[in-house]
Structure 1
Amino acid sequence: MFSKFFKRDEVAEAARETYQTVIRQARQPDFYTRYGVPDTLDGRFDLLVLHTALVLLRLQTDRAESERFSQALFDTLFVDLDQSLREIGVSDMSVGKKVKQMGKAFYGRLDAYRLGLEAVEGDDGQQLADALQRNLYRGSPEAEPFSMPMAGYVVRQAAHLDTIPLAEVVSGNLAFAAA
């Protein structure tokens, strides 16, 4: 009778495994040294969002099979962000508001990166580089030389993720290419 309360949620577990892979990839030192991403809370947030967005965009190729996993991955990201805000001392009264702002930022970036990736063939990655400049680099003029190389990384990563069978992705067996 109690087994249904203690049953493992394999989709949620796979999403947590994938999220751990996203975290490991987003924390690669190359992003801060080679690609000029600021090593700040904003920079780290944006790298998490970028890599989660890449996985979610990969999953959109077959929404029927990946919808539950996509939602679990999104939920895992935002539970982690909520906990992280609390750990750094954001007051309980402010956490909800900040998470809501992060959610809006996430969806805006997801859309910008999707559109940028779709336009790569026609504009040699300029729209994607512009989206990265606005979001990942927060419009910093000093970061402009990094936006096009970072766009190249994103294109290569999206192509790599497209080679991974959907069944592997939704089971938590995801590996990113080297930064």
Structure 2
Amino acid sequence: MKSLMRLFRSEPSIARPLYEQVVARARQPHWYREGGAADTMEGRFAVLATLLALTDVRLERGGEEARKASVGLTECFVDDMDSQLRQDGVGDPVMGKKVGGLVGALGGRVGAWRKAIDGEESWEAVAGRSFYRGAEPGEAALAHSVAELKRYWSGLEGRSDDALIGGVLP
């Protein structure tokens, strides 16, 4: 059965170092202090999902190995969310729905950040929804988050596919 599952999944370990580095980035205190992201489960999820979305967009724009790593990155996210929810006591009957909702939230962010990166929507508008879910963060907090997200994106663009897949973040 395990070998059959491998036919339908890329190897999550290809993106494990990258995923771990994105998680570490999402834990940086400045997102919550200066950036005003809520220091709650939902707020931490919003920061992680935002950074993963930007990283995923960059991988999508890379070569074949980067695109494979994009799939692996999402699989690492699913594995992590499944584990986190189980630790919080969520049982099997609702697990799929919960994880599906989180993956959908990540996918929505990927689409929104594509638009911001392509200039179809402002970074401020996308950050407002992605980080703050429509809450008013304050001008200084939003400016901090947008500046840091742009810096992160610029660094992602400046990294080779191999460096990114290996977990070397800006």
Q: Provide the rounded CA distance (Å) in 2 between the counterparts of 1:19 and 1:129.
A: 25
| 2:109 counterpart of 1:109 | yes
**Identical aligned residues as a percent:** 29
| TM superposition outliers: structure 1 runs of 4+ over 6 Å | none
Check if 1:156 corresponds to 2:151.
Answer: yes
Residue 68 (structure 1) shift: 1.6
* Higher deviation after alignment, 143-152 or 71-80: 143-152
What CA distance in whole angstroms lies between the structure 1 residues aligned with 2:21 and 2:65? 21
Q: Which residue is 1:96 aligned to?
A: 96
Give the distance between the partners of 1:111 and 1:152, measured in 2 at CA.
Answer: 20
Alpha-carbon distance in 1 for matches of 2:138, 2:78: 29
How far the C-alpha of 1:63 sits from its partner, in A, is 4.2
Segment drifting more, 147-156 vs 18-27: 147-156
Partner of 2:48: 48
Spell out, residue by residue over 1:96-139, the C-alpha distance to the aligned partner (whole angstroms, 9 max, x if none). Answer: 1111111111111111111112218xxxxx72211111231011
Larger radius of gyration, structure 1 or 2?
1
Report the TM-score when normalising by structure 2: 0.86
8 Å contact from structure 1 (residues 133, 144) kept in 2? no
Confirm or deny: 8 A CA contact 1:117 1:155 kept in the other structure.
Answer: no
Amino acid in structure 2 at the alignment position of 1:174:
V
AA aligned to 1:96 is G
CA 117–148 in structure 1, closer or farther in 2 if over 3 Å, else same? farther
- CA RMSD, 1 decimal: 1.9
Q: Any conservation in 2 of the 1:18–1:173 contact (CA below 8 Å)? A: yes
TM norm structure 1? 0.82
- The answer as to 2:85 corresponding to 1:85 is yes
Structure 1, unaligned stretches of length 5 or more?
1-10, 121-125
- For 2:13, the equivalent position in structure 1 comes to 13
- Residue deviations 1:36-85, cap 9 Å, x none? 00001111111111111121111122242322211111100111001101
The residue aligned with 2:135 is: 140
